[in-house]
Structure 1
């Protein structure tokens, strides 16, 4: 597995560093943040904000599940990682999914067709791509709040672990049963 780093917390880090320069003003540093992860509004001189961090997180999520960097050569002339995923969403996400993520299903022979609507894993992938797309929306007002991201990702996690949850429920029931003779 390859670790990925993005610009999370950039708004907080740079807005507290007022000794050298003001984060709310233009500087000789040019764009604030890493190319590809920087939200569009930062390029237009907007103030750093938590919504910018949400954008960076969305791009990172899309990168992890497509295996494509936002600075990939194919993303030129108006095409971006966000748009690349948006065009394929939801019917063709299997075509843009990083092949490493589905190699086990390929080995098992359970990866069939272009749309696997009934497959629990595929539905979770759709949810993750949707979160990534919403977080990386062009307008800050259209981006999710991080608390909503956590809630949705927790739901995906729980959906992928139904046997673990059932086991925990059964264990809790046994504790209750044995608690009262």
Structure 2
């Protein structure tokens, strides 16, 4: 009897290819790859990847200082932020100056959130199952990032 490995290329945990049994750690691996794909818009099978290069390695190499180079540009749209500001802009020069000064702060916070999310994706998609973070920790960390984002937006 031979075992057949089923799954989509790029989402199959490395240990499955070496005879490892399916487990929740494999699910965590797939979740990490999916999370990285969402934020980079690069599938594990993207033609840009050759050899052992993949979404995990690309992201690992970019963290933390070059994260904005690999993020899907459509995620960086300031449309929602700009639309909100058009309704609040006053003719007061002091307000305009404050809004201009605030923009780099917004971008810095966005970068911080993106780095945090991508670090979770990299941890989940670690080659070694023992290095993958448990899902309850993933959920708590993502919730903390979301709460930080919401608090920041309420201050704006």
Q: TM-score range by the shorter chain?
A: 0.7 to 0.9
SS of equivalent residue, structure 1 residue 86: helix
Greater helix content: 2
The equivalences for 1:108-127 within 5 A come to 119-127=108-116
* Structure 1 unaligned spans of 5+: 1-24, 167-181
Give the whole-Å Cα distance in 2 for the aligned partners of 1:111 and 1:34.
41
Rg (Cα) greater in structure: 1
Is it true that 1:61 corresponds to 2:35 in the alignment?
Answer: yes
TM-score (norm 1): 0.68
Give the whole-Å Cα distance in 2 for the aligned partners of 1:111 and 1:41.
44
Misfit runs of 4+, over 3 Å: 107-112, 163-166
Please, which of 25, 30, 33 is the counterpart of residue 51 of structure 1? 25
- Partner residue in 2 for 1:175: none
| Structure 1 residues 24-47: Cα deviation after superposition (integer angstroms, max 9, x where no partner) | x842x3x23211111100011100
Greater relative CO (CA pairs within 8 A, separation 6+) = 2
Is it true that 1:159 corresponds to 2:133 in the alignment?
Answer: no
- Partner residue in 2 for 1:90: 64
In 1, are the aligned partners of 2:33 and 2:56 still within 8 Å (CA)?
yes
Is it true that 1:132 corresponds to 2:121 in the alignment?
Answer: yes
* Structure 2 unaligned spans of 5+: 83-99
> Does the C-alpha gap of structure 1 residues 67 and 111 become closer, same or farther in structure 2, counting only changes over 3 Å?
farther
- Partner residue in 1 for 2:132: 143
Aligned length: 136
Give the whole-Å Cα distance in 2 for the aligned partners of 1:67 and 1:88.
15
Give the whole-Å Cα distance in 2 for the aligned partners of 1:148 and 1:26.
36
Give the whole-Å Cα distance in 2 for the aligned partners of 1:26 and 1:148.
36
> Does the C-alpha gap of structure 1 residues 156 and 120 become closer, same or farther in structure 2, counting only changes over 3 Å?
same
In 2, are the aligned partners of 1:38 and 1:56 still within 8 Å (CA)?
yes
TM-score (norm 2): 0.78
What is the alpha-carbon root mean square deviation over aligned residues?
2.7
